[in-house]
Structure 1
Amino acid sequence: MSKKRHNEHQSITDVLKAFVSENNLQSGLDKVDIREAWAQLMGNGVNNYTTAVELKGTTLYVKLSSSVLREELSYGKEKIVTMLNEAVGKPIVDSLILR
């Protein structure tokens, strides 16, 4: 009889985490997570005027087609950053630039 090794019984979550880590995919996944979080948190009203959401380092750049909306959102940038980080479950965004 052969003994089974313990490492043969890994959860799929652990295997995926290891794959992501070994292949340096986390930053790409973070970018996708942040785009999805923006869309969910802001809702259709803001999403209709959002033309681009791009994460560069820890800064999130959001292009809006409405100057009025951009001005309105600029007052709550810190709160938006906090909400986005909570939505993805880790501190990915430090600052928000609205264009």
Structure 2
Amino acid sequence: MAKRLNNESSIGDVLKVIIQDNKLQAGIDQVSVKEAWVSLMGNGVNSYTKNVVLKGNTLYVELTSAVLREELSYGKDKIIKMINEEFRRDLVKEVVLR
């Protein structure tokens, strides 16, 4: 049964309940991680980024440049740390560059 909130609940509390009850967090994270990739990586990397998908705790990034893919592969731990700091929780545990 749905949790009943009183009339003095904040909008943030109401939204948290709606997201939790409807299991929307995974979908919100998928959209948010794309936005985070764009803002954290900058125009140089984004011009070679074809697709960014979050499945579970793994971030799949499709790149059009083999050289950039190799360069980013050395900094996977830093990418994971930057994204997790952006979300203030451990959202990404692994990065796969394609």
**Normalised TM-score (structure 2):** 0.93
Distance 1:42 1:16 in 2: 29
Alignment-mate amino acid for residue 52 of structure 1: N
Gaps of 5+ in 2: none
Offset of residue 88 of structure 1: 1.5
Regions of 4+ moved over 2 Å: none
Gaps of 5+ in 1: 1-5
Spell out, residue by residue over 1:28-60, the C-alpha distance to the aligned partner (whole angstroms, 9 max, x if none): 011111111110000000000000000011000
2:7 alignment partner in structure 1: 8
Percent identity between matched residues is: 56
Offset of residue 90 of structure 1: 1.2
Describe the SS at the equivalent of 1:91. coil
Distance 2:31 2:16 in 1: 16
1:68 alignment partner in structure 2: 67
1:3 alignment partner in structure 2: none
1:78 maps onto 2:77 in alignment: yes
Describe the SS at the equivalent of 1:97. strand
Count of residues in Structure 1 that have an aligned counterpart in Structure 2: 94
Larger radius of gyration: 1
1:30 alignment partner in structure 2: 29
Distance 1:56 1:19 in 2: 22
* Superposition RMSD in Å: 1.0
Alignment-mate amino acid for residue 45 of structure 1: G
Describe the SS at the equivalent of 2:28. helix
